[in-house]
Amino acid sequence: EYIETVKKLNEDKNVKYSILTMGCQLNENDSEKLSGMIEEMGYTRTENIEEADLIVFNTCCVRENAEDKLFGKLGEVKKIKEKRGTIIAIGGCMMQEEHIVEKLQKSYPFFDIVFGTHTLHKFPQDLYNIILNKKRIEDIINIDGEIVEGLPIKRDDKIKASVTIMYGCNNFCSYCIVPYVRGRERSRKAEDILKEVQELADKGYKEITLLGQNVNSYMRMEKVENKNEKITSFAELLYEVNKIEGIERIRFVSPHPKDFTDDVIEAIKKCDKVCKLIHLPLQSGNTKVLKEMNRKYTKEQYLNLVEKMKKEIPNVTFSTDIIVGFPGETDEEFEDTLDVVEKVNFEQVYMFIYSRRVGTPADKMENQVPEEQKHIRFNKLKMLVEHQIANKNKQYIDTKQKVLVEGKSKNNDNMLTGRTDSNKVVIFEGEDNLIGKVIDLKIVSEHMWYLKGEII
Ligand code: 5AD
Ligand code: SF4
């Protein structure tokens, strides 16, 4: 209803919008929904914020540097607003934090709309109110948002798409702000997910990434509440998505090691479309630190899980997230993290320096690690990871890899780019009609962040 009204208000005006997304794939997916709604309201997208009539920020608060990014950009945007009267909307995870909204009100009072993670679907209404009433809107609720289906969506890619399967998190890892800003776990109905994947397949999409803060808890709460659903676990969902014709690859992020049950391992093994690269967040390799982090597994349990999967799933590889410098972490404890990295031999490691988050238990811990120490550890880990990746890359040479061709290479128009099952970027020479197809390539050379291939 509001979409239609705003569309009428915008008629013949050639209005433009820019959207700036920070943070994880869930946020990117939310931004695609925002863009979908905004475009239906008559706006066209521009990457140049200077010419935008509407600027939307979709923020992240998982680490401090994500926050700094917003405040830096807001300074720039203030001038644009003064010049053109641009509507400024700020949404996403950061807006669920009271101290941030207070800071905005005090130091950046020129914003028009502030919206949280639970009120995304009300964006057209908020925008309508701003255009008509010019009254600043703060639309943030702190209850766990209902799941709203059927929002328009403007996807960034034509071959790969993300599909959110569950919202929120119940784990409360002691360093993490997510459970406070995204609320409790709730799962989308399988029929809605499968319908979305089917529609994507019909449109020609080839790769689906199933998204959630904790995907292997899919339907856990609904089961506890005795809701009568046909599909009641993540494993069952994988089998169903695997049946959808046209989809060639299925990925998922992120599972939690503590919930990685045998039925999920079996589903990964049996579902031919499920990629054998498993993202398995480690966070720390030390049992004491893991306990303080409230991760609910030990170093040995993590390693056993990896071993079990290596045994069960042919060609399985792993990627992970690691935090260095968690409060109280000693040099010796950090060595355990390096030890696990050596043992698992990850395909990719996303490394983070611990960042204090207001309101989390770890922020209140007294034994914070000095910044300098954190950086030393970070660099040590980075060196080990880069060494391992370089070694791994060498092992790809002369192998045959199935590659999903994603498009033209960004840096070289004559080359195409694609990814292996293990998510390695491969660049190669080929005709444009290969885009969207899975083809066999022979790997001929390796570079730190990509491989070069030849069509077989
Ligand atoms: N500091 C540093 N890294 C963090 N992460 C989550 N919270 C923090 C924090 N406070 C990392 C974790 C998580 C990833 C998405 O971000 O590794 O898996
Ligand atoms: Fe944060 Fe832990 Fe939940 Fe992941 S599982 S979102 S790290 S609280």
**At 440, is the secondary structure helix, strand, or coil?**
strand
* Burial group, residue 213, by CB count within 10 angstroms (0-12, 13-18, 19+): buried
What's this model's pTM, rounded to 2 decimal places? 0.94
Write the residue with the smallest CA distance to atom 4 of ligand 2: 213
- CA 281 – CA 296 distance, rounded (Å): 13
Atom of ligand 2 nearest to the CA of 294: 2
Taking each helix axis from N to C end, the angle separating 262-270 and 299-312, rounded to the nearest 10 degrees, works out to 30
Q: Is 214 a pocket residue for ligand 2 (Cβ < 6 Å)?
A: yes
Q: Is 110 a pocket residue for ligand 2 (Cβ < 6 Å)?
A: no
* Burial group, residue 118, by CB count within 10 angstroms (0-12, 13-18, 19+): buried
- Give the distance (Å) from ligand 2 centre to CA of residue 176: 6
Q: Is 216 a pocket residue for ligand 2 (Cβ < 6 Å)?
A: no
Q: Is 178 a pocket residue for ligand 2 (Cβ < 6 Å)?
A: yes
Edge to edge, what strands does the sheet with 277-279 contain? 277-279, 317-324, 348-353
Structure tokens at 23: 């943070």
Q: Are 450 and 424 in contact (CB under 8 A)?
A: yes
End-to-end CA distance of the chain: give it in Å, rounded. Answer: 54
Atom of ligand 2 nearest to the CA of 295: 2
Q: Is 323 a pocket residue for ligand 2 (Cβ < 6 Å)?
A: no
DSSP track, 317-371: EEEEEEEE--TT--HHHHHHHHHHHHHH--SEEEEEE----TTSGGGG-S-PPPH
Nearest ligand to the C-alpha of residue 363?
Answer: 1
Q: Which residues, judged by CB distance below 6 Å to any ligand atom, belong to the binding site of ligand 1?
A: 62-63, 175-176, 281, 283, 321, 323, 352, 354-355, 357
- Give the distance (Å) from ligand 2 centre to CA of residue 179: 7
Q: Are 346 and 320 in contact (CB under 8 A)?
A: yes
- CA 142 – CA 129 distance, rounded (Å): 21
Write the residue with the smallest CA distance to atom 14 of ligand 1: 321
Per-residue tens of pLDDT for the chain, all 456 residues? 899 999 999 998 999 999 999 999 999 999 999 999 999 999 999 999 999 999 999 999 999 988 889 999 998 999 999 999 999 999 999 999 999 999 999 999 999 999 999 889 999 999 999 998 877 888 887 767 788 898 999 998 999 999 999 999 999 999 999 999 999 999 999 999 999 999 999 999 999 999 999 999 999 988 888 777 889 999 999 999 999 999 999 999 999 999 999 999 999 999 999 999 999 999 999 999 999 999 999 999 999 999 999 999 999 999 999 999 999 999 999 999 999 999 999 999 999 999 999 999 999 999 999 999 999 999 999 999 999 999 999 999 999 999 999 999 988 888 999 999 999 999 999 999 999 999 999 999 999 889 999 999
- Give the distance (Å) from ligand 1 centre to CA of residue 85: 37
Helix (H) / strand (E) containing 102? helix 98-107
Any idea which residue has 């997916």 for tokens? 29
